[in-house]
Amino acid sequence: QSALTQPASVSGSPGQSITISCTGTSSDVGGYNYVSWYQQHPGKAPKLMIYDVSNRPSGVSNRFSGSKSGNTASLTISGLQAEDEADYYCSSYTSSSTSSFGTGTKVTVL
């Protein structure tokens, strides 16, 4: 189970929009609409931000949105805020009934 590929870091100024990509294969991201995104602040457990490609759990800001095209999923954060500074991980279901996480992206708010 290879990790999904994410950019190591993405940055933006307050109020801007940023997009984080998550690239897999047809055996994971491209094969299923089971892609999730997690936010993790230092020393804390991950928090589910998006599930099933584009759905937001109750309580998650609508500034967070997800999409998918082919083997690449994306998380967009609009109206970037200081509290959005964190690590973000994608996750996908795979053809072997397992899950795979992305390599992680550090978001910096300038």
Partner 1 sequence: QVQLVQSGAEVKKPGASVKVSCKASGYTFTSYGISWVRQAPGQGLEWMGWISAYNGNTNYAQKLQGRVTMTTDTSTSTAYMELRSLRSDDTAVYYCARGITTDFDYWGQGTLVTVSS
Nearer of residues 29 and 77 to partner 1, judged by Cβ: 29
Contact set with partner 1 (CB under 8 A): 1, 3, 34-36, 38, 40, 45-48, 51-52, 57, 89, 91-93, 97-104
Considering the complex, state which of residue 78 and residue 103 has its C-beta at the smaller distance from partner 1: 103
Name which of 33 and 76 has its Cβ closer to partner 1: 33
Q: Residue 91: is it exposed, middle or buried by C-beta count within 10 angstroms (0-12/13-18/19+)?
A: buried
Q: How far is CA 26 from the centre of its chain?
A: 18
Give dist(CA 50, CA 63) in Å, integer: 11
